[in-house]
Structure 1
Amino acid sequence: MKGINEFISLGARQKEIEIEARIQGQEVKGNFLVKFPSIMDRIEAEAKASTILKQADVNTMLTETYLLTQAICYLDKVIIKKPDWYNLDYIDDPKVIFNLYGKVKDFENSFRPKNESDKHEGDSVKSVDEESLESK
C-alpha cells in the first residue's frame, strides 16, 4: 500500500493563468493562480451554486445564467490569487468569467489521460436481465 507521501499533492498542482478582459469599458490584464480542485472543492462549489439558485426555477431561467453561476462558484474554489480588477460586483461581461473558467478547466483536464472518454465504462447496451450473471 502506498504511503500518503507517495501521492502527488493536489496543492502542488497549480498554474498561473493570464487573462485579458474588458471591464466597464476598460482594458485589463492580470494573472490568476489556480489550483487543481479536490473532491471537497467540487462538492462545495456545487453546494454554493445550489444555495444561490435555490429560489430560481432552473427550467425557466436563462441557460447562460445557470452556467455563469456554476462557473463563478467553481472559480471561487480554485482561485488562489487574483488581480485587483477581478471583482464580481464590477465585471459586466459574462465572457470574462467564461474565458477564465475555460482556461482553468483546460488546466484541470490536462491531468486526464489522453485516451480518456466521457463515456462511463460501466455502461452496457444489454440489460442485466438479458443474460445470467452466474457462471455455468
Structure 2
Amino acid sequence: MQKLCFSHSSRRKTKQIDYLNWKKEKLSTFIVMDKPTVSISKSKYNHSPIYSWNTISHPFLTKLRAELYPNDKKSVSIEWLNQIDELALAVWYLDDGTQNKRYGTISLATNCFSYEEHLIMQEWF
C-alpha cells in the first residue's frame, strides 16, 4: 500500500492577495508555481476571482498533518497552543477568523473542535 503525502493549498480573494503572497513567500520551500492559480467564485452572489497557491506533496507536510489531524479529525492540544506566538496567532486569525465591527469583537472558527478542546483553548486564551 502506497503511503500518502499531503500538500497545502491557500485561497484568497483579490483584496487579500498581499496576504496570500506573503504566505507563499513563507512556504516557498514547498511551492514551485510561478503564478497563483486563478478561478472564479461560483457563489450565486459573487463571481470574483479567487487566487490560490498549492504546495508540493512533502513528507514534512504529511507529518504535520498527522499531528494536527489524528484519526483524520482536526485536533488541538495544549502542547500545540503553547507553540503559538504572536505571528502564528495572527495567521490563525487571518485564515480562520472574522471581525464583528458592530460589536468590536473578533472570533476564530473553531466549530470542528470538541467541547474538551474548546475548554483547552478557553483556558489558553
**TM-score bracket relative to the smaller structure:** under 0.3
Q: TM-score normalized by structure 1?
A: 0.26
Q: TM-score normalized by structure 2?
A: 0.27
Larger Rg: 1
